[in-house]
Amino acid sequence: MIFLQTGDDSVSDFHHIPVLTQELVTGLNTQPHGIYLDATVGGGGHSQLLLERYPDIRVVAIDQDSSAIAAARRRLSPYGERVQYWLGNFSEYCPDIHDSLWTGTEGKNGFDGIMADLGVSSAQLDQAERGFSFRHEGLLDMRMDRRHSHTAADIINQWSEKDLADLFFTYGEERLSRRIARQIVRLRPLYTTTALADAIAHCVPHAYRYGRIHPATRVFQALRIAVNQELFVLEWFVSHAPAWLKSGGRIGIISFHSLEDRIVKQGFRTSSWLQPVTKKPIIASAQEWEHNPRSRSAKLRLAVKLEG
């Protein structure tokens, strides 16, 4: 929860391709002189497009990953003091505390727009030492904020078989959760991504093992969500962030799986602050799918803050 000036060496390895960039920036109905909150700045792609659109727009850039903040600082350095950076999870952010950064306008009048690009980034998946992907051997870490101590290895090696099965079923929507949990308990301790992936692959049916997705995909999703409390903090964000908007300001959230999208959809529909902009989520074009396969699962939902 600090404004960061970092020399993180991993910034050189942090490369993230943002999805639905034009759709998000257009959907926010960008205004000149506006102040915008990028709640998951990542490599800074969405913020860069905002800052390019009008020369007087300002952005508060948040991320809980210090490598992401460092990469964003490098990418957005041409915009100087128009960007302020804050290291921490968006559920910990409080505009009223930091309103002096924008001479009071942020806390007093609110943001003109808020955006969030959820889930794991391309850079995090590609860095083996982060432990997010079974395609690279690394320790079972999965912490987006590495100041925290709780890792995926702690869950895999300490939780009971029942708790593991419930986790995989609830957060990974994994139908073979009991079988996989039993195999993990039998083989543990497991400390690396590839060891866990192999354990899962060797306990599922042949057709499941060689199906459309790797059999460890849903388990890794469930672990990542649990380590970072992603659904809990998203529910908090959807219910609290609208209070930070000006009347008529917009919020746009990009999600990547049904659990996230359900929270955003229901949060926008039931909020007394918001009116959804579209009934159905906006998805990426076929052209973007080809350029960035990660965009295939992306869904953008937009809402506007009601007057008064």
Helix (H, G, I), strand (E, B) or coil at 36: strand
Residue 37's pLDDT is 96
> Helix and strand tally (H, E) in the chain?
14, 7
* CA 190-192-198 angle, 5° bins: 75
Residue 108's pLDDT is 52
Please report the DSSP string for 252-291 in residue order. EEEE-SHHHHHHHHHHHHH-SSEEES-SS-B---HHHHHH
Segments in the chain forming alpha helices (H): 21-27, 45-53, 66-75, 105-109, 122-126, 152-158, 161-172, 177-187, 193-201, 206-209, 217-228, 230-240, 258-270, 286-291
Residue 84, amino acid = Q
User: Cis peptide leading into 189, omega within 30 of 0?
Assistant: yes
Residue 1's pLDDT is 30
Residue 10's pLDDT is 46
What's the average pLDDT block by block, 10 residues per block, for the chain (308 residues)? 37 63 91 93 92 93 94 96 94 71 51 93 88 95 95 98 98 97 98 98 91 93 97 97 94 95 97 94 82 82 92
Which residues, in sequence order, are bridge partners of residue 85?
61
Which residues, in sequence order, are bridge partners of residue 116?
253
Please choose, from the candidates 104, 180, 205, 146, the residue with its C-alpha nearest in 3D space to the C-alpha of residue 10.
146
